[in-house]
A and B are shown apart, each in its own frame.
Chain A
Amino acid sequence: MAKKMKLAVLVLIGLLVSFGLNNGSYADETAKLTTAPEVPPALNRAGGAEVTVELETTEKKGAIAEGVEYTYWTFNGTVPGPFVRVKEGDTVTFNLKNSKDSKNIHSIDIHAVTGPGGGAKATQTPPGGKTAFQWKAINPGIYIYHCATAHIPTHIANGMYGLLLVEPANGLPKVDKEYYVVQGDFYTKGKTGAKGLQAFDVEKARAEQPTYVKFNAMATPGNLKANVGETVRLYVGNGGPNLTSSFHVIGEIFDTVYQLGAVGSEPAKNVQTTVIPPGGAAIVEFKVDVPAAYILVDHAIFRAIDKGAVGILEVTGNENPDVYKALKSGGADAGH
Chain B
Amino acid sequence: MKIKFRFSFAAVLVIPLYLTFLAFHTDIAQASDDAYDVKVPESKLAEVKALKNVVASNKKSLSEAKAIYTGKGTCFNCHGEKGRGDGELASSFEPPPRNFTLSGWQKVRSDGELFYVITNGTESGMPGFGDMLSDEEKWSLINYIREFGKSKSLASRK
> Is A202 in contact with B125, judged by CB distance below 8 angstroms?
no
Confirm or deny: B104 has a beta carbon within 8 angstroms of a beta carbon on chain A.
no
Nearest CB in chain B to that of A125: its residue: B132
Q: B92 touches which one: A103, A105, A124, A202 (CB < 8 A)? A: A202
Q: B127 touches which one: A103, A149, A153, A203 (CB < 8 A)? A: A149
Confirm or deny: A104 has a beta carbon within 8 angstroms of a beta carbon on chain B.
yes
Q: How far is the CA of A127 from the CA of B72 in the complex (A)?
A: 5
Q: Mask for B126-147, Cβ within 8 A of A = 1, else 0? A: 1111011100000000000000
Nearest CB in chain B to that of A154: its residue: B92
Q: Nearest Cβ distance between residue B71 and chain A, in whole angstroms?
A: 7
Q: Mask for A143-174, Cβ within 8 A of B = 1, else 0? A: 00000011101100000000000000000000
> Is A103 in contact with B74, judged by CB distance below 8 angstroms?
yes
Given contacts A105-B132, A124-B131, A124-B132, contact A154 B89 (CB under 8 A): yes
> Is A153 in contact with B92, judged by CB distance below 8 angstroms?
yes
> Is B72 in contact with A150, judged by CB distance below 8 angstroms?
no
> Is B89 in contact with A105, judged by CB distance below 8 angstroms?
no
> Is B71 in contact with A151, judged by CB distance below 8 angstroms?
no
Q: For chains A and B in complex, what number of residue pairs have CB atoms within 8 angstroms?
A: 41
Given contacts A103-B77, A104-B74, A105-B74, contact A151 B132 (CB under 8 A): no
> Is A129 in contact with B72, judged by CB distance below 8 angstroms?
yes
Given contacts A151-B125, A154-B89, contact A129 B74 (CB under 8 A): no
> Is B132 in contact with A126, judged by CB distance below 8 angstroms?
yes
Confirm or deny: B24 has a beta carbon within 8 angstroms of a beta carbon on chain A.
no
Confirm or deny: A251 has a beta carbon within 8 angstroms of a beta carbon on chain B.
no
Q: B77 touches which one: A104, A125, A128, A203 (CB < 8 A)? A: A104
Q: Mask for B8-50, Cβ within 8 A of A = 1, else 0? A: 0000000000000000000000000000000000000000000
Confirm or deny: B153 has a beta carbon within 8 angstroms of a beta carbon on chain A.
no
Query: Which residues of A in the span 155-197 have a Cβ within 8 Å of any Cβ on B?
Result: none
The residues of B that contact A154 with a CB separation of less than 8 Å are 89, 92
The residues of B that contact A125 with a CB separation of less than 8 Å are 132
> Is B92 in contact with A126, judged by CB distance below 8 angstroms?
no
> Is B91 in contact with A105, judged by CB distance below 8 angstroms?
no
Q: Mask for A213-250, Cβ within 8 A of B = 1, else 0? A: 00000000000000000000000000000000000000
Query: Which residues of B in the span 86-139 have a Cβ within 8 Å of any Cβ on A?
Result: 89, 91-93, 121, 125-129, 131-133
- By a beta-carbon cutoff of 8 Å, the part of chain B in contact with chain A is 71-74, 77, 89, 91-93, 121, 125-129, 131-133
Given A124-B132, A150-B93, 11 more pairs with CB closer than 8 A: A124-B128, A124-B131, A126-B132, A126-B133, A127-B71, A127-B72, A129-B72, A150-B125, A150-B127, A151-B93, A154-B89
